[in-house]
Amino acid sequence: MVKLKGSTVVEMAYLMPVVLLCWMAVIFALFYYHDKNIIGGAAYETAIVGSEEWRWQKEIEDGKMEQYFQKRIENKLIFFDTVSVETAVVKDEFEVTAGAQKRKMRVSVKRSAALTVPEEKIRRKKVLQEIVERDQEE
């Protein structure tokens, strides 16, 4: 049996709660960044799908992209229990803002995807090429 001085036991009594507090802080930080990455990935995927949907229909049904986001995080193991999402078309981008919270911990993510219509650019390029060719022939 090892004999320790009484002061060592008292010092350990003060030190162990600090060590446990640091360990819990690390665990909560891991949960936070894990969930932030999952929510960010789902938000970015929703932004891409929303951009493509807008490209073909020029209008998106209310709640359709929000449902898509909820399906993306449905079976994921996340610590936060309240997850909300908002989607909007802002200028030339489809924007997804997602947030989650549990008690006092909150995470917020904003992802966007460009609204592109490459067919229009290709058609313009062909028209310009035809004009240049006609000018060169004349």
Where do the structural domains in the chain lie, given as residue ranges? Answer: 6-137
Q: Which pLDDT tens digit goes with each residue over 60-98?
A: 777 888 888 888 888 888 888 888 898 888 888 889 999
Cβ neighbourhood burial of 66 (10 Å; 0-12, 13-18, 19+): middle
The pLDDT-based confidence of 4 (bands split at 50, 70, 90) is: low
* CA 38/CA 50 separation, integer angstroms: 18
Structure token pair of residue 47: 């932004």
